[in-house]
Amino acid sequence: MTIKADGTATIQINDGAADGEHWSAQWTTVPTGIEVTLKTLTQKVGDGLGGELSAGMIWDAALQQDPDGTIMHFVRSDQKLSDPDAGFFWCSASGAAGYSNNCGA
């Protein structure tokens, strides 16, 4: 996910190596972090994500301290950021600052 100062964002979410989606989005600050609204599916790779995402979906995100680094917890608006089993975690792609075991392989 890349967020820009003008309130826009781009998101790439993959399910394995062959399937994924790219979305344009808008974001705004909220007391708990940021709120991200999906706008337009800009690219589908392979089978995509099987319809799990749709335009208008709202996600909440916040930076959280994990025992092995700072990560962004990303949850649907009907989930809680305080639930460590909800949503998923964004980490640094390089494995540098922002890496966490919560981010998988």
What is the extent of the structural domain holding 92?
2-103
pLDDT value, residue 55: 96
Query: Within 10 A of 4 (CB to CB), how many other CB atoms are there?
Result: 9
Q: What is the pLDDT of residues 7-21, one digit of tens each?
A: 999 998 888 788 999
pLDDT (average), residues 54-63? 92
* pTM for this entry: 0.79
Report how many domains make up the chain: 1
Strand-pair partners of 66 = 69
pLDDT higher at 14 or 69: 14
Q: Predicted confidence band at 52 (pLDDT cuts at 50, 70, 90)?
A: confident
